[in-house]
Structure 1
Amino acid sequence: MAKGDTTKCLVIGAGPVGALAALYAARRGWNVEVYELRGDLRDDSTTPLNFTKSINLALSERGINAMRHSGSDQLLETVLSQTIPMYGRMIHGKASSRLTEESQQYDVHGRYIRAVDRAELNKLLLDELENLPNVKLCFNHKLTGADVRKRKAWFEQHVSRTQTADGAQADQDQNSSRSKEIEVDFDVILGCDGAHSNVRHHMMKSMRMNYEQSYIDTLWCEFTIPPASSATKATPSTRDGFATSPNHLHIWPQSDKMFIAIPSTDKSFTCTLFAPSADITSLEKYPDGFLPFFEANFPGAADLVGRAELRKQFAENPHLPLISIKCSPHHYGSSGVILGDAAHAMVPFYGQGMNAGLEDVRVLFEHLDAHPPNIQGRTKALEAYTTERVPDAHTINDLALANYWEMHAGVNSPLYLLRKKIEEFLSDKLPATGFATQYSRVSFSNQRYSEVANTVARQGRILFSGMILTVLLPAASWAGWWLWRYQRSSHSTIKAAQGFTGLTMLGERIGRMFT
């Protein structure tokens, strides 16, 4: 945007996507106000919206690239210094009575994704924002209404903070502050307020938005593997105080369920159980069956968590659903935009939820930068953003859902592993072919998600054709040769010979090749 742009921007939601969006807007000279329902997200006492820690996220190229273009020179370097590289999946299983670990690299070229602490990432982004003079952070503010036509928003302040005589912060009476509502004007409002977005809800009152929400028949529950100690067991890949390899995303796969673990910088692992709702309901009803269920399906995992702690965490941590949301468009006129989960909440099986949201920010501001800094220019920019982003958002939603099969079943599928090896071989040894695995395109490139899907589908057709030719061509060659030899040695009638004319001609050509 041009210097001197006085655009007033409200960012609703101070999570990673909202904080980065506010940073992009502020770097362009906009007057930015960030409103967050919860307290300061840098405060350890602030409860996450889903009431779980969920401290670990997978950061890949799309999210990294979005921060690379944020205009904050040291931000990305600082963030990356707080991450742990994960070079592949570690598949846990059992052979006879022996526990097994099998490493499957993510990328033939050695590229990797990074485990990042969500709270630490959020803190770094908010700290960066707080240092900018044109940014105002407003915590404990609930959006109660928004009119994108009149460009007005209303907020209810849940808890107000006052300064005491000794300089400490104290809460005023919460009941008296709840009725306090403020009205705020804006030029553009950015909805970064999650799957159950209030911004999206109020935008839908002023426009025709197609909206699709669905749940899969799987629930999830969070667990923690503590750092390695004498109190818990460790796997053979344990290193540097971690109970198992710190440089892998760990998976205990089953046909319809799985248990995963992602490393943290404090040497623990944040783990998630994904299982059909019927299984979870049964375990809730009959808790004595939990440990036998866990040991039968995820061998060795209970020893890493600790058996007593495993039961305790299952009883205390919530068992939550997985939601998928698609909507279109992602904007209204020149005044409203939704980003991240507000626009495309997805199941977590590709690790792209946060990365896609951060990429939304980069794409949005690329379009804004390409148009004049006025209402007409912003209208065209937001239209272009929706045109580009909707098909990509729908695609990654579908890919994330499909990747559930890959994570709990595909990792043990010979056909899936064969295709992966062929594509990696071609990518490594014959790069001119342009082949690459779907995972590497999604996680290690900035190619549009919709283009990834089209490219991978084309690769699949080529590989399938090649496999068919590999099987059928030798068979056809043998059959042609046999018919050619048969005709030469037999005295069959002309009518019979004419019946084989087509095959005979093919056989003659092939026969000459072998004689």
Structure 2
Amino acid sequence: MTQKVIVVGAGPVGSLAALYAAVRGFEVEVYELRADLRDPSTKPLNFSNSINLALSERGIHSLRQSGLPDLADAVLAETFPMHGRMIHVRKNGEYVRQPQKYDARGRSLLAMDRTGLNSTLLDYLEAMPNVKLVFNHKLVGVDFQKKVSWFEHRTKSIEEQGDEFEISFDFMIGADGAHSAVRYHLMKFVPMSFQQEYIDKLWCQFHVPPAPNGDFRIPPNYLHIWPQDESMFIALPNIDKTFTSTLFLTRSGFEQLDASGKVVEYFDQRFPGVVPDLITEDDLRKQYTANQHLPLISIKCTPYHYGDSGVILGDAAHAMVPFYGQGMNAGLEDVRVLFEFLDKYPTDRSKALDEYTMERTPDAQTINDLALGNYREMASDVKKPLYLLRKWIEEQLYLYIPSAGWATQYSRVTFSNMRYSEVQQAAHKQAKILNGVVGITLASAIGTAFWFARSGGVQQAKMGIFRSICVIAQKMQRLLES
């Protein structure tokens, strides 16, 4: 008999989970609180707003492993490549742009609109005969022991409730976001450790239109960052020649701006080149007032499942702040990893879910922590010479001495499928070696560089540093292998 899988949440993670289940022949029903986002008349709920997405290897790999050979290509057709960061700062009173590549080997992140990704996945689901999509329905109760759930039909508005009805299931997948109803009901059946934090940053989104000639207003193949320590403005490109931009600022900072009304003056002081080159003064004021100033939440919990009947994925299990660009990628990876365990134990779903929770918990909590910590890198470190020097050294070792197994933490997180927990372990080991060995030999390297600088110029000075670093690379390799 065909088993019934209920997926709660029709966002990108829930939609991909439903596709994985449908490809395996399950009877799949997807229930979503919101209206169908593909309907032009649908107005997004406040909590459905999302910062533009950055699709990386983990998300792409999960799409490719769905069992639908053309799914990944359909999604990738709606993306725009970002080769690196473009840092916007003032130096000596002058506005300058400084590009910083993401990857020494030229790999790129892919910017995309969340709604576009979601719509593509929903289109694929709708075309599958064993999938039922149900919108405007709220989960109001679950008995994970009896495998019975209760839903309400929301008829006209989110406040108006309809009749409650009962649905049985064999397996429930909760992908219903940070404020997950599935997680809430799961907690009644399993002693779940749960930690929630609202960080001291709010975000407000802005729209940057195309230039008058129809082209991009600034170079498109970058994640643009205006770093200002306690605040930050970013802009991600879209295929329609617009940018989706976001202001991150402390709660007190927003309160001060709200009280003073000096939004244009604040941008003039902090974010050079934004007003009026990207957004006019009037439009900036209007968007700042009209667009909500929304909180950023970080959630950790474990376990993610109960018995063989239910599991939570994505933000329902590990909502994270957006500063590593991994929230959606980690959620899509959840789906791939979950179904790898389900395929491994096709007759023992309890064991599959046990192993899923055991493996995924440390990985999810690691990327959650890395995301919290990466704000400092984006808003502050990217301006500092020491950060740039360290990044350059790591990239040179990665390029020219691959036998040492060296790579930046960012490249491992973004351009590989290495477990997040293993990425962090490798990064800590490399940092210890780099701080120790390079620190001891730094004086020699600098002396060599000065000698080359006097005799041959800046490029020779750089190569002088690199030759000195290469001398200690063998020591690094031995330490890495030990």
Normalised by the length of structure 2, the TM-score is 0.89
Residues 137 and 152 in structure 2, CA contact (< 8 A), matched pair in contact too: yes
Residues 213 and 325 in structure 1, CA contact (< 8 A), matched pair in contact too: yes
- Residue 225 in structure 1 maps to residue 188 in structure 2: no
> What does residue range 133-152 of structure 1 map to in structure 2 within 5 Å?
133-152=129-148
How far did residue 105 of structure 1 move?
0.2
Q: Output the amino acid matched with 2:268.
A: E
Whole-Å separation in 2 of the counterparts to 1:312 and 1:273: 14
Residues 54 and 270 in structure 1, CA contact (< 8 A), matched pair in contact too: no
The total of aligned residue pairs comes to 445
> What does residue range 442-461 of structure 1 map to in structure 2 within 5 Å?
442-461=413-432
- Residue 414 in structure 1 maps to residue 397 in structure 2: no
Deviations 1:11-33 (A, max 9, x none): 00000000000000001111100
How far did residue 176 of structure 1 move?
12
Whole-Å separation in 2 of the counterparts to 1:10 and 1:421: 48
How far did residue 266 of structure 1 move?
1.2
Greater Rg, structure 1 or structure 2?
1
> What does residue range 149-168 of structure 1 map to in structure 2 within 5 Å?
149-159=145-155
- Residue 25 in structure 1 maps to residue 21 in structure 2: yes
**Residue 212 to residue 177, structure 1, CA distance change in 2 (3 Å):** closer
Deviations 1:289-339 (A, max 9, x none): 221111111111122111110011111111111100000001111011000
Whole-Å separation in 2 of the counterparts to 1:207 and 1:53: 30
Residues 51 and 205 in structure 2, CA contact (< 8 A), matched pair in contact too: no
Q: Which residue of 1 aligns with 2:358?
A: 387
- Residue 356 in structure 1 maps to residue 369 in structure 2: no
Q: Which residue of 2 aligns with 1:80?
A: 76
- Residue 305 in structure 1 maps to residue 245 in structure 2: no
Give the match's secondary structure for 1:301: coil
How far did residue 6 of structure 1 move?
1.5
Whole-Å separation in 1 of the counterparts to 2:219 and 2:287: 22
Bigger CA drift: 43-52 or 407-416? 43-52
Specify which of 389, 400, 403 is matched with residue 371 of structure 2.
Answer: 400
Specify which of 156, 165, 180 is matched with residue 182 of structure 1.
Answer: 165
Whole-Å separation in 1 of the counterparts to 2:158 and 2:376: 48
Give the match's secondary structure for 2:46: coil
**Residue 367 to residue 176, structure 1, CA distance change in 2 (3 Å):** closer
Q: Output the amino acid matched with 1:359.
A: E
Q: Which residue of 2 aligns with 1:498?
A: none
Whole-Å separation in 1 of the counterparts to 2:4 and 2:164: 20
Whole-Å separation in 1 of the counterparts to 2:410 and 2:46: 28
Whole-Å separation in 2 of the counterparts to 1:407 and 1:241: 27
- Residue 192 in structure 1 maps to residue 159 in structure 2: no
How far did residue 473 of structure 1 move?
8.7
- Residue 325 in structure 1 maps to residue 299 in structure 2: yes
Bigger CA drift: 143-152 or 334-343? 143-152
How far did residue 111 of structure 1 move?
0.2
**Residue 410 to residue 44, structure 1, CA distance change in 2 (3 Å):** farther
Deviations 1:85-141 (A, max 9, x none): 000000011234432111000000000000012111111111111111110000000
Give the match's secondary structure for 1:92: strand
Q: Which residue of 1 aligns with 2:95?
A: 99
**Residue 423 to residue 260, structure 1, CA distance change in 2 (3 Å):** same
Whole-Å separation in 2 of the counterparts to 1:33 and 1:368: 18
> What does residue range 36-115 of structure 1 map to in structure 2 within 5 Å?
36-50=32-46, 54=50, 56-115=52-111
Q: Which consecutive unaligned segments of at least 5 residues does structure 1 have?
A: 160-172, 231-239, 475-515
Deviations 1:238-288 (A, max 9, x none): xx700111100000001211000001111110100001111100111111x
How far did residue 447 of structure 1 move?
0.2
Whole-Å separation in 1 of the counterparts to 2:353 and 2:76: 31
Q: Which residue of 1 aligns with 2:218?
A: 244
Q: Output the amino acid matched with 1:39.
A: A
Q: Which residue of 1 aligns with 2:264?
A: 291
Give the match's secondary structure for 2:42: coil
Give the match's secondary structure for 1:110: coil
Residues 51 and 246 in structure 2, CA contact (< 8 A), matched pair in contact too: no
Deviations 1:353-393 (A, max 9, x none): 000000000000000000033xxx10000000000100000
Normalised by the length of structure 1, the TM-score is 0.84
Q: Which residue of 2 aligns with 1:316?
A: 290
Give the match's secondary structure for 1:440: helix
Give the match's secondary structure for 1:280: helix
Whole-Å separation in 2 of the counterparts to 1:464 and 1:181: 61
Whole-Å separation in 1 of the counterparts to 2:47 and 2:161: 22
Give the match's secondary structure for 2:295: strand
Give the match's secondary structure for 1:305: coil
Whole-Å separation in 1 of the counterparts to 2:189 and 2:354: 16
Give the match's secondary structure for 2:167: strand
- Residue 344 in structure 1 maps to residue 340 in structure 2: no
**Residue 21 to residue 308, structure 1, CA distance change in 2 (3 Å):** same
Q: Which residue of 1 aligns with 2:479?
A: none
Q: Which residue of 1 aligns with 2:409?
A: 438
How far did residue 472 of structure 1 move?
7.8
Give the match's secondary structure for 1:439: helix
Q: Which residue of 1 aligns with 2:437?
A: 466
